[in-house]
Structure 1
Amino acid sequence: MNNLLFGYLDKERLETLRNKFSEMNVVDIAQMFEEIPEEKKLIIFRILPKDIAAEVFSYMSQKEQQFIIESITDKEVQSLIEDLYLDDTVDFIEELPANVVKKVLRNTDEQTRKTINHFLNYPENSAGSIMTIEYVNLHKEMTIKQAIARIKEIGVDRETIDTCYVTSKGRKLEGVILLRQLILSEEEEVIENIMDKDLKYVHTHDDQEKAASLFKKYDLITMPVTDNENRLVGIITVDDILDIIEEETTEDFQKMAAMEPSEEEYLETSVFSLAKHRIVWLLVLMISATFTGNIIKRYEDVLQTVVILTAFIPMLMDTGGNAGSQSSTLIIRGLALGEIKPKDWVKVVFKELRVSLLVGITLAVVNFGRIYFLEKVDFYVSLTVCITLFCTVIIAKAVGGLLPIVAKKLKVDPAIMASPLITTIVDALVLVLYFATATVLLGI
C-alpha cells in the first residue's frame, strides 16, 4: 500500500495522493510516517487535507512531531496549532526540546499561549495535566431546545459532544447529561429536571491513576475535572486514559525488572541511557547478594563435613525466588487494580500461608522421593533438604505477599518489591534456615 502511495508521489500525481489520504484512517497515516524516507515526509505532510492534518499529527510519535515542527514554516505551525485540540498540543509540547517549544509558542495567540502555560504548570501525572478544555457545558436552566442549539453552535470545535456537563452560572459543576437523553426528550423540558446529579469527577491535582481507576470502575467515556471550588475546568477523555494505563503498566514492568522507568521507545533509546537505567539496581542487587555469600562462608564447616548439601543450594534458592515472585506479582496486580488495600494485609498473609502449606507439602514430598529413593541420598540429608524446602515456600510466599503491601503503605510503588528484590531477601533467609536445619538434624 505504501509503495503504491509513494508511486503517486514520484509521478507527481499529488491530487490523487491527497484523495487517497482522505479515504484512509488517520492513525494508519500517522504510523505510515515511520516508514517514509525523511526527504519525503514533509512533502507528504503538506499534501494531507487540512481537515485531517492536525489529527494525523496528534497520532504521530514524538520524534516525527518534532521533525515536522522543525521543518515547516511559522505560518504552517500557527495553522497546525489552531486545528489541534489543546490537550494534544500540551502533550507533544511537554516532550519537545526548548528551542522547538519556543517556535510553537511564538506562533500561538496570547490566550492560547496563556492556556498552554497554565496546563504545563499542573503537577506531572496529575488530572489537570491530561485534561482538555474543549468540552460542551450547558446551564441547568436551559431547555432541551436551547441545549441542542448550543451544541450545534459550539460542538464542532469540541473534543466530544456525546457527554455534556451541566453547570450553574458560576461554572459550578451540577450534573451530566448524555446527547442521547437530549435528543429523546421533549424540547421544552428543562435540563435540571432530567440531568444526572450523581456524577464522578476528579480535582486538577488528583493523580492520573485515580482518574484511570474511576474510568475502569464506572465504565466512563469522559470525566469532568474541577478546581478546589468545584468549578468545571476541563474533562478527561477515554483515549487519554488508555495512554495513561499503557504508561503506568510499562513503568510497573520496568520497576518489576529492577530498572529505572523510561518513557523513550526501546529502539530510540541510546545504549548509554539503557545502561544507566539498569545499572543502579543491578549494583544494589549485586551488593545485597554479598550477604548470601557471607552466610555460605559462615557455614563452610557444615559444607565441608557434608559436601552433598552444596548440590541442593541452587534448587532451594530458585524455588524460594520463584515462590516469592508468584505471590508478589498477584499482590502488585491486586494493589494496582484496587482489589487489595493495605488494610487487607492480614487476609493476604493468611491466604498466602494456606497456599504455601499446600504447595510446600507437595514440593517437599516429591523432592524427598526423588532425593532419597532415586538419588540414594542419606535419609537425614534428604529430610534436611525437604524440611528446608517446605519452610522456604512458606517464607517466600509470606515475604512476596507482604512486601508490596508495606511499600504501598509507605507510599512507594509496590512494583519495586518484585522478583529481583524479593529473590535477594528470600535467598538470604533460605540459606540461614538451610544451614541451621542441617546443624540440628545432622548433628554437625
Structure 2
Amino acid sequence: MNQKQLLRPVADAATLSAPLADFNTADAVEYLNTLGLPQAADTLAALPVPRAVKLLEAPELQHAGELIAALPPARAAALLGLMADDRATDIVHELDAAERARLIPLLAPEARQSIQLLLSYPPNTAGALMTTEFVGVPADWSVAQTLQHIRQVERSRETVYAIYVLDPLTRQLRQVVTMRRLITGAPEDSILDVAQVNPPVTVGPLLDQEEVAQLIRRHDLLAIPVVDAQLQMLGIVTVDDILDALIDESTEDVHKFGGVEALDKPYMQIGFFEMLRKRAGWLSVLFLGEMLTASAMQHYEDELARAVVLTLFIPLIMSSGGNSGSQATSLLIRSLALRELRLRDWWRVALRELPTGMVLGGILGVLAIVRITVWQLAGLHDYGAHWVLLAVTIGAALVGIVTFGSLSGSMLPFVLKRLGFDPASASAPFVATLVDVTGLVIYFSIAAMILGGTLL
C-alpha cells in the first residue's frame, strides 16, 4: 500500500460492500460517485473482483483513474487486466506517468501488450477506440468448431454477434459471419459457407472516429473491424464505444459553440479558477471584438447627433443580423459534422444562403415597416416628419444585414475547416460580434443614401 492507504482507516470489507448488495451496476456506479475518493476506493477494494471490474468498466464511473491509483498496486493491476482492453486503456490514460510506470509492468503480458498498443494510437481515432477482444477463427474451421470456441471465450470477448474469419497462415481478415447466420448453418458446414456475401467493411487504425461512426451507421453494423495495411485484424470498434465517443465530442462542440473552451469534466467537478480560465479567454476575445462596434459608432457620431431616432433601432438591427448568422452557422456546423457537405461545396452553400438571407431580411423588413407605421399612426411614438423614409431605411437595412449575416455565418465554418480549425469554434457569440460591427456600417451607409438631405 502507498502512504495514503496506510494512514487511512479501512472499514470491514462486508460493511463497505453491504450498501451495494442490492444495487444493479448502474445504481452501484451512481452510489460510488456520491462517495469521497478514499471511501469509494475502499469500497471498490472490498468488492469481489468480478463485481469491481463491472463497476470500473462503466463509463459513468467518475474518477476511475484516481480510484485505480488509490488501490494497492497488485489489486489495481488485477482489475485492469480483467477489464475490456479499451476501457482499461481509457483509465490508464487518466493516470499520471508515475502511476503508469508503476502499474503497467504488473499486468499480465497479454493485457500489457494490448493496452500499450491502444495507448500508441492518437486520441479520437479508430485505433484508440478499438478493443482487441474479438472473436476470430481460422477460415478452415467448421460451424461446430466455431460455436464451441464461442462457448469457451464469450466471457472474455467484447461481443460475439460478429465472428471474424481469418486466414490460418497470415491472419488476414477474409470474411465476417453474423451470429444469426452461424446458428442457422449446419454443424459440418465450413465457416466460409455461412459467411456474408459482400466483402467486409473495414477501417484503418488512424481513421477519425467521426468517419468510423459514419461507416457504422451507413452499413448498419454492431462492430467494425480495424485492420492494418496487410488487412491483418487489429481489433474492433463497437457501436456503443463509438456512441460514447461521439457524445463526448458533441458535448465539446456544444461548449465551443457557446463561446466556452471545452470542459473535460462535468460542470460541478470543474474548480473555480479552472472555470474562469475556460471562460475568460473567449469572453475577452469577444469583448475586444465588440470594442470595434464602439469604434464604428464613434465613426458615425455626427450622423447620430443629427438623427437621434436612428439609435432607437440599433439593437433591433444588430440582433437580427447576429441571429441570422447564428442560424446559418449552427446549420452548417452540423452538416459538416455529419459529412453532408464538403469543403468544395462552399459555393453551393453561398448561392443558397444569398437568396435565403434576402428573403428572410425582407420578411423582417416588412415587419419593421409595419411596426413603425402602426406606432406613428396610432400616436404611440412620433418618429418625425420623415418617418416614411425612416421606415424604408430600417426595412432596407434589415435586408442587407440579415443577408450579410446569413452569408458570413454560413461561410465561417468553411473558412475555419480550411485553416485546420474545428468548425464548432465558429461560436454563436463570435458570429454575432462579427455581424454587429459590419451591421452598423451597412445600417449607416443605407441611412446616408435614403435620408441624405432630410434627416442627415
**TM (normalized to structure 2)?**
0.88
Percent identity (aligned): 30
How far, CA to CA, are the matches of 2:210 and 2:111 in structure 1?
Answer: 27
Q: Structure 1 residues 12, 73: closer, same or farther in 2, change over 3 A?
A: closer
Tell whether the 8 Å contact from 2:304 to 2:311 is kept in structure 1 after alignment: yes
Shift of 1:13: 10
Q: Match for residue 191 of structure 2?
A: 191
Are 1:148 and 2:157 an aligned pair? no
How far, CA to CA, are the matches of 1:317 and 1:246 in structure 2?
Answer: 34
Deviations 1:142-171 (A, max 9, x none): 221121122223333111111111121312
Q: Match for residue 32 of structure 1?
A: 31
Deviations 1:52-103 (A, max 9, x none): 2201112266654244323332332232123211111101110122333233
Which shows bigger deviation, 204-213 or 312-321? 204-213
Amino acid at match of 2:411: L
Are 1:172 and 2:181 an aligned pair? no
Amino acid at match of 1:92: I
Q: Structure 1 residues 70, 345: closer, same or farther in 2, change over 3 A?
A: closer
SS at match of 1:309: helix
1:388 aligned residue (397, 410, 413) = 397
Tell whether the 8 Å contact from 1:132 to 1:234 is kept in structure 2 after alignment: yes
SS at match of 2:33: coil
Amino acid at match of 1:194: V
How far, CA to CA, are the matches of 1:300 and 1:77 in structure 2?
Answer: 69
Q: Match for residue 181 of structure 1?
A: 181
Tell whether the 8 Å contact from 2:114 to 2:132 is kept in structure 1 after alignment: no
Are 1:58 and 2:57 an aligned pair? yes
In the TM superposition, what are the counterparts of 1:257-272 in structure 2 within 5 Å? 257-272=258-273
Which shows bigger deviation, 306-315 or 189-198? 189-198
Tell whether the 8 Å contact from 2:69 to 2:76 is kept in structure 1 after alignment: no
Amino acid at match of 1:266: Y
Which shows bigger deviation, 248-257 or 111-120? 111-120
How far, CA to CA, are the matches of 1:126 and 1:335 in structure 2?
Answer: 18
Shift of 1:126: 1.5
Are 1:69 and 2:68 an aligned pair? yes
Shift of 1:203: 0.5
Deviations 1:171-230 (A, max 9, x none): 211121111111111112222233124322211111112112222233321111111222
Are 1:235 and 2:244 an aligned pair? no
Deviations 1:325-380 (A, max 9, x none): 11111111111112222233233223323332332222111111211331342221
Tell whether the 8 Å contact from 1:62 to 1:92 is kept in structure 2 after alignment: no
SS at match of 1:202: coil
Amino acid at match of 1:383: V
Q: Match for residue 283 of structure 1?
A: 284
How far, CA to CA, are the matches of 1:342 and 1:60 in structure 2?
Answer: 35
In the TM superposition, what are the counterparts of 1:301-316 in structure 2 within 5 Å? 301-316=302-317
Tell whether the 8 Å contact from 2:16 to 2:46 is kept in structure 1 after alignment: no
How many pairs does the alignment contain? 433
SS at match of 2:106: coil
Aligned CA-pair RMSD: 2.3
How far, CA to CA, are the matches of 2:42 and 2:422 in structure 1?
Answer: 45
Which shows bigger deviation, 407-416 or 226-235? 407-416
Q: Match for residue 423 of structure 2?
A: 414
Deviations 1:253-307 (A, max 9, x none): 1111122223122211112212212222222222222222222111111111111
Q: Structure 1 residues 75, 95: closer, same or farther in 2, change over 3 A?
A: closer
How far, CA to CA, are the matches of 1:249 and 1:13 in structure 2?
Answer: 40
Tell whether the 8 Å contact from 2:393 to 2:450 is kept in structure 1 after alignment: yes
Tell whether the 8 Å contact from 1:212 to 1:244 is kept in structure 2 after alignment: no
Q: Structure 1 residues 145, 22: closer, same or farther in 2, change over 3 A?
A: farther
SS at match of 2:261: coil
SS at match of 1:153: helix
Tell whether the 8 Å contact from 2:25 to 2:55 is kept in structure 1 after alignment: yes
Q: Match for residue 7 of structure 2?
A: none
How far, CA to CA, are the matches of 1:142 and 1:47 in structure 2?
Answer: 43
Q: Structure 1 residues 248, 287: closer, same or farther in 2, change over 3 A?
A: same
Which shows bigger deviation, 56-65 or 244-253? 56-65
Tell whether the 8 Å contact from 2:33 to 2:62 is kept in structure 1 after alignment: no
SS at match of 1:424: helix
Tell whether the 8 Å contact from 1:342 to 1:405 is kept in structure 2 after alignment: yes
Q: Match for residue 131 of structure 1?
A: 130
How far, CA to CA, are the matches of 2:358 and 2:160 in structure 1?
Answer: 56
Q: Match for residue 440 of structure 1?
A: 449
Q: Structure 1 residues 162, 100: closer, same or farther in 2, change over 3 A?
A: same
How far, CA to CA, are the matches of 2:370 and 2:132 in structure 1?
Answer: 68
Tell whether the 8 Å contact from 1:404 to 1:414 is kept in structure 2 after alignment: yes
**TM (normalized to structure 1)?**
0.91
Tell whether the 8 Å contact from 1:321 to 1:422 is kept in structure 2 after alignment: yes
